[in-house]
Amino acid sequence: MSKTLVEKIWDAHVVKSEAGFPDILYIDTHLIHEVTSPQAFDGLRKRGLPVFRPQQTVATADHNVPTLNQLQPIKEELSRFQVDMLTKNCAEFGIELYGLGHPFQGIVHVIGPELGITLPGKTMVCGDSHTSTHGAFGAIAFGIGTSQVEQVFATQCLLQQRPKTMKIEVNGELGKGVSAKDIILYIIAKISAAGGTGYFIEYAGSTIEALSMEARMTICNMSIEMGARGGLIAPDQITYDYIKGREFAPAGEEWDKALAYWKTLYSDADAKFDSVLTFDAADISPMITYGTNPGMGMGISAHIPATGDQAVSEQASFQKALDYMGIEGDTELVGKAIDYVFIGSCTNSRIEDLREVAEFVKGRQKAENVIAWIVPGSKQVEQQAIAEGLDKIFESAGFQLREPGCSACLGMNEDKIPAGKYCVSTSNRNFEGRQGPDSRTFLASPLTAAAAAITGKVTDVRTLLNEPVHA
Amino acid sequence: MRKFEKLTSAIVPLNIENIDTDQIIPARFLKATTREGFGENLFRDWRYNGDHSLKADFVMNNPAYKGRILVAGKNFGCGSSREHAAWAIQDAGFDVVISSFFADIFKGNALNNGLLPIQVTDAFLAEIFNTVEKDHAATLEVDLENQTVTIVASGAQEGFEINAYKKSCLINGYDDIDFILNQKHLIEEFEQTK
C-alpha cells in the first residue's frame, strides 16, 4: 500500500495500535531543557521511577540563560535555580547535559542537527513547540507538554493519535531578497495561525528541494505557527551531505546501513494526503508581520489590511491587535521607525543566517536609533562565526554578537524589548508581550531585519540590494 | 489526576480569538519548578497593570463574573507547548474551557491534567456569549458522561466530541503513564526488533 512519509515513519515506530485507543508511539530521541522538565523529573520521583532510556535523552540549557558573561553565575535568581535544577536532575537520572560552558551548548533545536543527533526517519520530541524544526531531516518531530515529557522519561513512548497529513508544495524560483523565512511567513499568512491544526505537514516542490538544510529548518520550525503538530521534508543528497561527519552521526558501516534506510523515506507517488496546497515561489515577496499572531503577515510593501476586511466575528480581535501594535489599518509599514533588531532564535540563528546578515551589513552602519542584537543558536555557531571573522563585521557595523540561547525570542532572560518599543525580529512569535511586557514585534527574515537595523525603519531590503556599499 | 464527571457553574467569558499561551501565562513566569501557583499569573498582562494593580476592564477582575468554566474565542491555546498554561487555568479555579477551536498541544496538555477542553460550534459559542452578556450569573451544565453542554436558563444544548480513551481517563482519574507502564513488556519487545 502506498504511504506518505509521515505514515512510513509513524508505522515503523508503533509499539501497539488498538482500535479506540491512541497508538503507543516509540520515541527515538528525547531533547530536554530547563523550563519544561523539572516538574516531569518530580513526577518520576513521586512514582519512584527511573528514566527508562537515559542514553536516548539529551539535555541543554537554553531558554533562560544570559547571553552575556555566560560563565559567571546567573544573576537572576529564579533562572539560576532552574538551570541548576536541570544540572542536578540530569546527574541524578543519568542524562547527558550540554550545559553552560560546554562546547555543544545551545538552543535545543540548533544543537540536535549540528551534532548529528537529528537524523532521517527518527521520532523526536521535546517539551518545546518548535521541535518541528528537526522535521527538516525527514524525522517525525513535535513539541509536547510536561506530562508527556514525564511519559517519555518513564516509558520512551507516547500515546498519540495518528495525525492527519497535509502536503504543501512550493514550486519555482525565489525572487531577489526572498528567503526561507519569507516562504513560511507567506504560507502562514495564507492559511492562518490555525490552518494547519491537527496535521503533520510535508513540504515539497522544487523551491523546497533547492533549499539548504538551514533554510529547510527555518521552514519546518514554524509549522506550529499555523497550528500543525509538525512539519517535515523528505531527505535527499543535501540532507545526507549535511549529516555526514557530524559528532554523533553514524559512520562507516553504520552510515551505509543508515543511508540505505534513509533512501526509502519519501512519500510514494500515489500516496494520499488529507489536504494538499500548492504555492508559486514567484508570488512570494520579503514578508513582515504587522499583528499579534504569525498569521498576520504580508508582503513588506503591501498595505496593512483594514478592520472590516475580515469576517464580522473576527474584527474586534483584529482591531485589538492593531491597537496593541500602535498601527492603523490600510497604511504602509515601510518607513515605520523601529527601536530594536533581534537576529536569533531557533528559527534563524544558524551559521548560514549569520553569514547572510554579515554579507549584507559589511561596509554598512546600523542606524543610531537602533539596538541590534545577534544571538547565535549555539556555541558551535558562535565559534564558527568568530573563525570566519563575522564577529568583526558585526562589530564594525554596530551589531552586538552575544552568546547562545533563546534570548529575546521569549524574553525569559534579561534580553527584553522595553514596553512600547518596536523590534524587527527573526524569531517565530509576535504575540502580545512575547519579547517583554508591551513590546511590539515585527517578524521577518534575517535580511529584512538587517535592512531595518541599517535604515532604522521597516525597509524593503530589495531597494538596498543594488546600492553600492563602501567597505 | 483528579476525576471529572459533571459540573454546573457560572462562566467567565473571554470573547477574544487566538488567545495564545503567552497571554495565558507569559514566559517570564515559567521559572517555577513545581506545578502549583501559576494561577496567580494567569492572563498576567491583561489582568494587571505594570504596577501590579488590577486592570478594571478585564473580565476576571469583574466581581460579576465568577465560575469554574472559562469560555473563549476560537483557536484558544495556540503557540507554545508550555503545560504551565493548563496548570495556570486550573490553579485559578477553572475545571472546563469552552471554545469553538483549540490548538492541539494545549488541548492535549489540558486533558492530561483533568482540565476539560470542550469544542462547541461557532453558533453555540456565540449563544453562550450572548447569554452571559445579558445575565452575568448565567450557568452552564457540563455532562462528561453524556458529552453535552447545556445553557441552564434556556435549555439549549450541544453535544461535544472527546476521545473515548481520554474520557475514561478523566472519569476514572488515571493518566497515560499508568496506561503505558502496564504494557512495558511490549516496549522492550519492540526495542529488540529495531
Interchain pair B79, A429: CB under 8 A: yes
A314 contacts on B by Cβ (under 8 Å):
17
CA distances from A239 to A164, A212, A231, A259 (A): 25, 8, 16, 11
Q: Which three cell numbers stand for residue A238?
A: 543535501
Residue A294, min C-alpha distance to chain B (Å): 10
Q: B109 touching A, CB under 8 A?
A: yes
Q: B123 touching A, CB under 8 A?
A: no
Q: B36 touching A, CB under 8 A?
A: no
Question: Model confidence over A383-441: pLDDT tens digits?
Answer: 999 999 999 999 999 999 999 999 999 999 999 999 999 999 999 999 999 999 999 99
Q: Which of A16, A197, A292 sits opposite B103 (nearest CB)?
A: A197
A162 contacts on B by Cβ (under 8 Å):
none
Q: What share of chain A is helix, strand, coil (3-state, %, to 5)?
A: 35, 20, 45
Pairing of strands B139-143, B116-119: unpaired
Query: Nearest 5°: phi and psi at A107?
Result: -65, 130
Instruction: Write the CB contacts of A440 (distance below 8 Å, at least 6 apart in sequence).
Output: A324, A325, A326, A417, A420, A421, A422, A423
Q: B67 touching A, CB under 8 A?
A: no
pLDDT of residue A470: 57
Distance from the first to the final alpha carbon of chain B:
34
A410 contacts on B by Cβ (under 8 Å):
22, 27, 80
Q: Which three cell numbers stand for residue B103?
A: 490548538
Burial A4-35 (b: 16+ CB within 10 A, else e): bbbbbbbebbebbeeeebbbbbbbbbbbbbbb
A437 contacts on B by Cβ (under 8 Å):
26, 45, 50
Interchain pair A193, B78: CB under 8 A: yes
B85 → chain A, closest CA residue: A145
Q: Which residue has the cell 487555568?
A: B89
A43 contacts on B by Cβ (under 8 Å):
177
In angstroms, the CA A427 to CA A30 distance is 23
A130 → chain B, closest CA residue: B80
In angstroms, the CA B22 to CA A292 distance is 11
3-state secondary structure (DSSP) of residue A13: coil
Q: Which helix (H) or strand (E) holds B98?
A: strand B96-99
Length of chain A: 471
Interchain pair A431, B20: CB under 8 A: yes
Question: Model confidence over B13-36: pLDDT tens digits?
Answer: 999 999 999 999 999 999 999 999
Q: Which three cell numbers stand for residue A148?
A: 508527556
Interchain pair B33, A42: CB under 8 A: yes
pLDDT of residue A467: 72
Question: Does residue A1 have a pLDDT over 90?
Answer: no
Mean pLDDT of A96-106: 98
Residue A250, min C-alpha distance to chain B (Å): 16
Q: B133 touching A, CB under 8 A?
A: no
Written as one letter, the residue type at A214 is: E
Q: Are A82 and A89 in contact (CB under 8 A)?
A: no
Question: Model confidence over A182-230: pLDDT tens digits?
Answer: 999 999 999 999 999 999 999 999 999 999 999 999 999 999 999 999 9
Question: Does residue A135 have a pLDDT over 90?
Answer: yes
Q: What is the mean pLDDT of chain A?
A: 97
A419 contacts on B by Cβ (under 8 Å):
50
Q: Which helix (H) or strand (E) holds B128?
A: helix B122-134
CA distances from B50 to A221, A439, B45 (A): 33, 13, 8
Interchain pair A433, B22: CB under 8 A: yes
Query: Of A1, A4, A5, nearest to A262 (Cα)?
Result: A5
In angstroms, the CA A439 to CA A432 distance is 7
Least confidently predicted of A28-32, A96-100, A447-451, B170-174:
B170-174
A224 contacts on B by Cβ (under 8 Å):
79, 105
B178 → chain A, closest CA residue: A151
Residue A403, min C-alpha distance to chain B (Å): 20
Question: Model confidence over A422-438: pLDDT tens digits?
Answer: 999 999 999 999 999 99
In angstroms, the CA A338 to CA A228 distance is 31
A417, HSE (Cβ side, Cα atoms, 13 Å): 30
Interchain pair A154, B17: CB under 8 A: no
B33 → chain A, closest CA residue: A38
Mean pLDDT of A106-121: 98
What pTM was estimated for this model as a whole? 0.97
DSSP letters for A252-289: THHHHHHHHHHTT-S--TTPPPSEEEEEEGGG---EEE
Least confidently predicted of A25-39, A307-321, A329-343, B144-158:
A307-321
Question: Does residue B1 have a pLDDT over 90?
Answer: no
Instruction: Write the CB contacts of A70 (distance below 8 Å, at least 6 apart in sequence).
Output: A100, A101, A403
Q: Which three cell numbers stand for residue A229?
A: 503538530
Pairing of strands A275-280, A287-289: unpaired
A229 contacts on B by Cβ (under 8 Å):
104-105
pLDDT of residue A169: 98
Least confidently predicted of A78-87, A224-233, B78-87, B177-186:
B177-186
Pairing of strands A140-143, A157-160: unpaired
Interchain pair B176, A156: CB under 8 A: no
Instruction: Write the CB contacts of A371 (distance below 8 Å, at least 6 apart in sequence).
Output: A339, A340, A341, A400
Q: Within a 10 A sphere around the Cβ of A42, how many other Cβ atoms? A: 17
pLDDT of residue A277: 98
Q: B127 touching A, CB under 8 A?
A: no
Mean pLDDT of A106-114: 98
Interchain pair A227, B103: CB under 8 A: yes
Q: B177 touching A, CB under 8 A?
A: yes
Q: Which helix (H) or strand (E) holds B187?
A: helix B184-193
A295 contacts on B by Cβ (under 8 Å):
18
ipTM attached to this prediction: 0.95
The residues pairing with A87 across neighbouring beta strands, listed in sequence order, are none
In angstroms, the CA A90 to CA A78 distance is 18
pLDDT class of B5 with cuts at 50, 70, 90:
confident
Question: Model confidence over B46-74: pLDDT tens digits?
Answer: 999 989 999 999 999 999 999 999 999 99
In angstroms, the CA B118 to CA B99 distance is 6
In angstroms, the CA A105 to CA B81 distance is 22
